[in-house]
Chain A
């Protein structure tokens, strides 16, 4: 579809719409703090958080914690993605497997990863493994459930076409089922990565000595609410970046859908 090029005034308008509310919120927060309505010990002003953020960034503390957390998330998420995709495809393609596993998945899925912490410590100790395990649990279910759903939603009309053309089973799976399930699979990976990242704080509650979650817990004990907020905001920003990366990949892989995205 031919779309007229976006005018410059529109660009400015969109930019303001995108960032405006956030800036306004920060300004009000700052003003209320300066007027003494908000006590800095309850909620430090944005300016103070920015200064602490800059300090922690400059002395490398923040980057150290970020890299520890990101590595854990990538480990947990990586295992979850591999297992979730593999098992999800197998279960999606086999009705017998689906019947066998449905109850187990449905019962274990609602258990929050935090509830696993005691068992995780018993099984894996307080080292790296237990943290990765908690993150894995958080990411695994969104990936597997979306993969199964995606495969189950294969277009019945395309299945008929494949039957009429007597397409082989392997070609049917590779050219009809998997591409059709791709949008759902990408959603699963995206949600899975998000949950994995959210689980990092929970995982780092287990006697961690590094990571953004540790940074927050440590600051809490020292009543440094500004550092707590720096940690929280860092988690938010990194989550947003991860989400953008996955949706960027999604757009590159699912080219046949790009025509509809730009509406």
Chain B
């Protein structure tokens, strides 16, 4: 990572720990997390459920306060939510009573009507939903609804986009399509993105680096840089090699399934 140090880090996490009180007992969710994310980087975090990866994302989003260590966005310590960070959740979390357009403008403020109209139509186009501005969430498919929620997160032009298992609830084909979409949006918008997932292929396909986390307490086990050019071929031998490497982080010495692929 000697290359990274020359660039000003976008997000600097140092010695981060977080614990919860569960029935008067302290449960460590995260311990000793150190991670530096460069401007414009795409970082994928993989881990099994309960490893604290979503907690990490919530801390960065400012939804979880009371952590130990430091989390700096630019030069500022994260102490609450802010428009400099957008977030996409596993569920689309759209307001069911608002149209696509109104859902996207939900978080916009202090903007002139013309500007709002321009931003909305730009972002509807960006996520490939032209013609659906007046549709209600219940009229959309899961993938389309997730596109709206990505547009809603991006419309404030955040410096950092946090994706919390955004495709976990989608079917396998829509998922692949959405991964390509996010990649395209990342290339166009150049937003720094942090993706949390339990899908190893997704992490390798998207990330500049893959952060492998282990559970209880959540720690970073390994950070694997992915140097393959994009778009990445999931069936290439290099891809398979990295997949195997990450797989071994989770299932050391255990029998390996013959083929792991979507």
Contacts and interface: CB of A to CB of B under 8 A. Distances in A.
A160 B97 CA distance: 17
Interface in B27-72: 61-63
25 contacts: A157-B91, A158-B93, A160-B63, A161-B87, A161-B93, A164-B61, A164-B62, A164-B63, A164-B81, A165-B83, A165-B106, A165-B107, A165-B152, A166-B82, A166-B83, A166-B107, A166-B109, A167-B106, A168-B109, A175-B97, A175-B106, A179-B97, A257-B96, A259-B139, A260-B138
A186 B83 CA distance: 35
The 3 closest A-B pairs by CB, nearest first: A165-B107, A179-B97, A256-B96
Interface size class of A (residues with CB under 8 A): 20 to 34
Interface string A160-176: 11011111100100011
Contacts of A95: none
B93 A157 contact: yes
B117 interface: no
Contacts, number: 58
Contacts of A171: 106
A160 B63 CA distance: 8
Interface of B: 61-63, 81-83, 85-87, 89, 91, 93, 95-98, 106-107, 109, 136-139, 152, 156
A59 interface: no
Given A164-B81, A166-B81, A255 B106 contact: no
A contacts with B: majority SS: helix
Contacts of B97: 175, 179, 182, 254-256
Contact of A175 (B82, B83, B95, B152): B95
A147 B91 CA distance: 27
Given A158-B93, A165-B106, A256 B82 contact: no
B249 to A, nearest CB: 30
A263 to B, nearest CB: 13
A164 B87 contact: yes
Given A163-B63, A165-B107, A256-B96, A157 B89 contact: yes
Most chain B CB within a 10 A radius of its CB, from A157, A166, A168, A255: A166
Given A175-B106, A255-B136, A164 B95 contact: no
Nearest to B82: A166
A179 B107 CA distance: 17
A164 B83 CA distance: 7
B107 A167 contact: yes
A205 to B, nearest CB: 43
Contact of B95 (A158, A160, A182): A158
Given A166-B81, A256-B136, A256-B137, A175 B98 contact: yes
Nearest to A1: B138
B109 to A, nearest CB: 7
Contacts of A164: 61-63, 81, 85-87, 107
B109 A163 contact: no
Given A166-B83, A166-B109, A256-B137, 10 more contacts: A163-B81, A165-B83, A165-B156, A167-B106, A171-B106, A175-B106, A179-B95, A256-B138, A257-B96, A260-B138
A157 to B, nearest CB: 5
Contacts of A255: 97, 136
